[in-house]
Structure 1
Amino acid sequence: MTVDTELVRQLAELLGDTGLSEIEVEDGERKIRVARQMTAAPVSYAAAPAQAAAAPAAPAPADAPAAPDMKAHPGAVKSPMVGTVYLAPEPGKPNFVSEGDRVEAGDTLLIVEAMKVMNPITATKAGTVKRLCVENQEPVEFDQVLAIVE
């Protein structure tokens, strides 16, 4: 197998630019995966102060509702690739859609740029854009929720 070192360098540069931990591309039978080890900053913990034995125990706070799992949402539009999101067709132009807009199946919601290719991300069904879950020029991961269309 011949390795395209220029492609590997471009992928490694993309990892550094976006802060991603890995990227994988497939071209026919050839598959290239570039990954880097992410190191976390050391965390230090302080000991909790001891409670006075005579102090009455405070009532436990009511559990806050858990954040909804956006990936499981039936209207979730997920990124099919790693890349950078663009909400408008070009700088200075209006966004493809805004929250509250009505869309039809196949309408472009946004673009994900990957390897200098602009990939339109379209609505999978007709509905209303309830939420845009990303910001313009934000790096995104594979399977990340981009928008909710109901």
Structure 2
Amino acid sequence: MGDHKEHGINIDPAFVRALAELLDDTQLSEIEVEDGERKIRVARTLTAAAPVAFAPPAAAAAPAAPAAAAAGGTAPTAPAADAGLADAIKSPMVGTVYLAPEPGAPNFVTPGNAVKEGETILIIEAMKVMNPITAPKSGTLKAIHVENSQPVEFDQPLFSID
């Protein structure tokens, strides 16, 4: 057939192409398939342009609030927004956030849900490892401060629980 022998294993280029198409269809960054001793891993590199696009608007918004306060404008909205994040549970690592256990599945939780201490709220993928981030206390999920598939930084607010 279309099999090629490389490094002692048979590789089917059509199968590898099908795996690559599956990556695009599911928005995954990699997929690995094992069949006995044969292992095929297909991965794609995601660009880091998206985080840079988010940074300038935040920096531009910061000077506007002090300018409004100096002009006698009402600036309580900025401190109120910051106060809402003061009690937020923060990211313990750098990675990519996933709000659901797998693509197409419902989110672990949504704002307004009652959560129990230890319940998984979201997952952060870091270095190809899926790390569940759990509720540190029981209560009501007040807000989720990140979007699905969003890159996050260490100490970035993730969610709030009342």
Matched, 1:149 2:161: yes
Matched, 1:64 2:72: no
Query: Higher helix fraction: Structure 1 or Structure 2?
Result: 2
Alpha-carbon distance, 1:91 to partner: 0.6
Alpha-carbon distance, 1:18 to partner: 3.3
| Structure 2 residue matching 1:62: 3-state secondary structure | coil
Alpha-carbon distance, 1:111 to partner: 0.2
Q: What number of residue pairs does the alignment pair up?
A: 98
| Paired-residue identity, % | 58
Structure 2: distance between partners of 1:142 and 1:18: 16
What are the superposed Cα offsets for residues 34-74 of structure 1, whole Å, 9 maximum, x if unpaired? xxxxxx9xxxxxxxxxxxxxxxxxxx44332123245521x
Q: Which runs of 5+ in 2 are unaligned?
A: 1-44, 57-70
| Structure 2 residue matching 1:95: 3-state secondary structure | coil
Give the aligned residue type for 1:62.
G
Structure 1: distance between partners of 2:119 and 2:134: 5
Matched, 1:96 2:108: yes
Corresponding residue for residue 124 of structure 2: 112
Normalised by the length of structure 1, the TM-score is 0.58
What are the superposed Cα offsets for residues 86-125 of structure 1, whole Å, 9 maximum, x if unpaired? 0000011110000100000000000000011000000000
Q: What is the Cα-based RMSD across aligned positions, in Å?
A: 2.4
Structure 2: distance between partners of 1:17 and 1:113: 16
Alpha-carbon distance, 1:77 to partner: 1.3
Corresponding residue for residue 90 of structure 2: 78
